[in-house]
Amino acid sequence: MQPEESLIVSADGSHTLRSQHFDATYHSKHGAISESRHIFIGAGLDYLSHSKEAGPVTIFEMGFGTGLNALLTAQWSQSYNRMVRYTTIEAYPLNTEITNQLNYGQILKDDNLFSKIHSSPWGEWNELLPSFSMKKIKGKIEDLSITDRYDVIYYDAFGPGAQPLLWEQPVLQKIYDMTADGGVLTSFCVQGTFRRTLMAVGYQVEKLPGPPGKREITRAKKP
Ligand SMILES: C[S@@+](CC[C@H](N)C(=O)[O-])C[C@H]1O[C@@H](n2cnc3c(N)ncnc32)[C@H](O)[C@@H]1O
């Protein structure tokens, strides 16, 4: 039987996966780590952390996937000694056979932290580092009912071609409601309809320069 996901080496040497089911890759083939750093850490977390001086930074990630964004964020919290509370949702968790092969722990020199991210139980808060706590939710974003508010949203679904529903108003309205005042959402997607929908639900939207292989990305701010 064909495996559901296959391993690819992206241009910066870091792995990504191709999902046969969604006919999409989990990251850019031009560099998985470079892309995640640029879009989610640089344009999202770094940016927000400059405007929020006190208290923990709260993050919601749409699509836990390989755990790469979680690892980069945990390392960020450690290097800046800044408290992060990280909530992530995943409808189709990857099995350990595939996550054990991913080279993020080796490249980012933290195999132990990467393993902890994957082995931490679903559905509860886990303190993985003094500066980093994480809750992994197993389920679909469409079914999520949550009253918490987040400073940063990593909007990392498969693209609109693969999963149109996740880029339409009902889901994005929910995401907007989950964003704290002054909070930001970042995404690799710059499609016109996506940006117009973000504006329709209330965000202020800007385009920023993208990582290698991608001209632009989107950052949306809740006023
Ligand atoms: C682009 S990948 C995420 C990459 C991930 N952030 C990473 O660092 O590896 C999109 C993820 O969304 C998940 N997903 C797809 N549909 C979903 C849904 N309806 N609700 C929650 N997660 C979903 C996929 O299984 C996949 O793991």
Q: Which two tokens stand for residue 55?
A: 């208290």
d(CA 183, CA 114): 27
* CATH numeric code, 31-221: 3.40.50.150
Ligand 1 centroid from CA 144, angstroms: 14
Please tell me the distance from the alpha carbon of residue 222 to that of residue 209, in angstroms, as a whole number. Answer: 20
Does the pLDDT at position 2 exceed 60?
A: no
How far is Cα of residue 188 from the mean position of the Cα atoms in its chain?
A: 10
CA of 139 to the centre of ligand 1 (A): 10
Q: Using one digit for the tens of pLDDT, what is the confidence trace for 122-133?
A: 999 999 999 999
Q: Measuring from atom 18 of ligand 1, which residue has the nearest CA?
A: 140
Domain ranges of the chain: 31-221
User: How many angstroms is it from 88 CA to the middle of ligand 1?
Assistant: 10
pTM: 0.97
Q: How far is the CA of 90 from the centre of ligand 1 (A)?
A: 6
pLDDT digits (tens, 9 = 90+) for 59-100: 999 999 999 999 999 999 999 999 999 999 999 999 999 999
Q: Tell which atom from ligand 1 comes closest to the C-alpha of 16.
A: 9
Give φ, ψ of 167 to 5 degrees: -115, 10
User: Is the C-beta atom of 141 inside 6 A of ligand 1?
Assistant: yes
Quick check: CB of 91 below 6 Å from ligand 1?
yes
